[in-house]
Amino acid sequence: MSTAAATISKTPFHKYWVILSTRTQEDMAYRANYVFGAIFRFLPLVTLIFLWYAVYQARKAGGGDLTIRGMTFQDMITYNVLMYVARGFSSVPGTTSDISKDIKDGLLNRYLIKPINYLWYQVMYRLAHKLVFWYVALFTFPPIFFLMRHYFSHTPTLLEWGTFVISLFTAFSIGMLFCSIIGMLAFWFLEISTFLFVIMMIEFFLSGQMIPLNILPASMQPFLTFSPFGYEGYWPCMILMGKVPQTQLPQLLGIGFLWVGVFYLISLVIWKMGLKRYSAVGG
């Protein structure tokens, strides 16, 4: 056993390290699925390129401004390319449905009788997926980014790179905590699928995955600036594009950390309240 592994085995984190390690090895057995998923997830980008090209050409033909709220055609494509990176961190598919299923079917019993924290178990489980995904992405993303290189007009500074990396971990934390909170609503509601669909569509829109948030009406900007969902996609992209003044980067990160703390506290409260209602029927 290595020194690092021996050190970990002596700490309370060891059990979560085992979960992370075991799940990562399981996912690596199906890495071909990740390869095809990482490649084909870029296919919708082709449609977006033609869509925004038509929009900007129409503005050009009509003698209009060739920027939309400061976004050129190249900026718009760059934004959508970077969004695949941002959402690769913040998106945690299956988390909400798995948590709600564990609660409704009584499968939560198997975790409550073990000396582990269920929420941290879910974090390690999803983090393993991310590790395998980005291991594969290191080989599949660069060729695609190379083909799209002529759209990138801004060279990020070292500060922007550092802030971008930190913002990605913030994105994962917010995405994971938000999905956990929604999943735990199953303590009170037997069926949350319809509610889940509505909430996730709102999150999808407010995270900026559909369109950049800065092109929405000015009246919405104060809300969007402080909304937690923008930190799941919009802000990491804007940081790397140089659209955020460097003097505002610390403030932006501070707000993101604040939301992580708020969501974490909410998740703890809902978890404790939910366990009081949990009937442990089923598994």
Q: How many CA atoms lie within 13 A of 221 on its CB side?
A: 7
Task: Answer yes or no: is pLDDT of 9 > 70.
Answer: no
Q: Where would I find the H helices in the chain?
A: 3-9, 14-28, 31-40, 43-61, 73-90, 95-104, 109-112, 118-147, 158-183, 193-206, 221-226, 234-240, 249-277
Tell me the two tokens of residue 37: 């998923």
Greatest CA separation found in the chain?
69
| pLDDT digit string, tens, across residues 147-194 | 888 999 899 999 999 999 999 999 999 999 999 999 999 898 877 777
In a domain, 117, yes or no: yes
Q: 134 and 88 in contact (C-beta within 8 Å)? A: yes
In a domain, 3, yes or no: no
In a domain, 4, yes or no: no
In a domain, 98, yes or no: yes
In a domain, 9, yes or no: no
- How many whole angstroms separate alpha carbon 81 and alpha carbon 75? 10
In this predicted structure, what is the pLDDT of residue 226? 86
- How many whole angstroms separate alpha carbon 1 and alpha carbon 20? 17
- How many whole angstroms separate alpha carbon 48 and alpha carbon 20? 36
Span of 27-31, 56-60, 68-72, 94-98 with lowest mean pLDDT? 27-31
Tell me the two tokens of residue 211: 């369109």
In a domain, 6, yes or no: no
Task: Answer yes or no: is pLDDT of 5 > 70.
Answer: no
| pLDDT digit string, tens, across residues 15-32 | 777 877 887 877 776 666
Q: What's the mean pLDDT in 219-228?
A: 88
End-to-end CA distance of the chain: 36
The proportion of the chain whose per-residue pLDDT surpasses 70, expressed as a percent, equals 91
In this predicted structure, what is the pLDDT of residue 31? 66
Q: 181 lies in which domain range?
A: 16-277
Looking at the structure of the chain, the number of domains it has is 1
